[in-house]
Amino acid sequence: MGKILPILLALVGIGVGVGAGVALRPPPPPPVEVHPCGPGDDANLTADMPNGTADEMHEDGEEPPETSEFVKLANQFVVSVVKDEKIVALVVMSLSVEVLPGNTEEVFRQLPKLRDSFLQVMFDHANIGGFDGAFTESNKMTLLRNALLETARRQLGPPVIDVLIQDLIRQDL
């Protein structure tokens, strides 16, 4: 009985703590509607909207139809950073490709060629010093993103909307 009592007290304490946390949790904040273009007349937006009007965008909480699909590339990309003929760092990246709806299968069919092309872009980026110093600097990242997007469009065609960098890690050796 002496060994069971502390365990029982611990379980009761955990249960009371969880119950109090659930009961005293604050209510969620009210949703905030954000207009990136600022407040104004929605009538001017209809000319700029693809495949729809401003009225479709604001119907009783309904979201507009999905305009893209994201294809996460399963394996990470590993790129070596070489200086003076020695590997000084490894860069590990995870990518996703944003495509128009219905083009996910095409990305998977072309995946070996796409991975090869992406790796070549990343090695070129490493060779020009893109992963040296402050490698997450805006200008360096823009160069890399644009090169990856151009490569994806060359490989897969117009259905490619964007290439997203999900993770980017540099490990110095």
Is 22 within a domain?
Answer: no
Is 27 within a domain?
Answer: no
Is residue 54's pLDDT more than 60? no
Is 24 within a domain?
Answer: no
Domain that holds residue 152: 69-172
Is 132 within a domain?
Answer: yes
Contact 149, 135 (CB under 8 A): no
pTM score of the predicted model: 0.60
Is 55 within a domain?
Answer: no
Is 19 within a domain?
Answer: no
Number of domains in the chain: 1
Q: What is the Cα–Cα distance from 167 to 163, expressed in whole angstroms?
A: 12
Is residue 49's pLDDT more than 60? no
Q: What is the pLDDT of residue 17?
A: 80
Q: Each residue of 78-133: pLDDT tens digit?
A: 998 888 888 888 999 999 999 999 888 888 998 999 999 999 999 999 988 888 88
Is residue 150's pLDDT more than 90? yes
Burial of residue 13, with CB atoms counted within 10 A of its CB: 0-12 exposed, 13-18 middle, 19 or more buried: exposed
Contact 70, 97 (CB under 8 A): yes
Is 45 within a domain?
Answer: no
Contact 52, 141 (CB under 8 A): no
Is 15 within a domain?
Answer: no
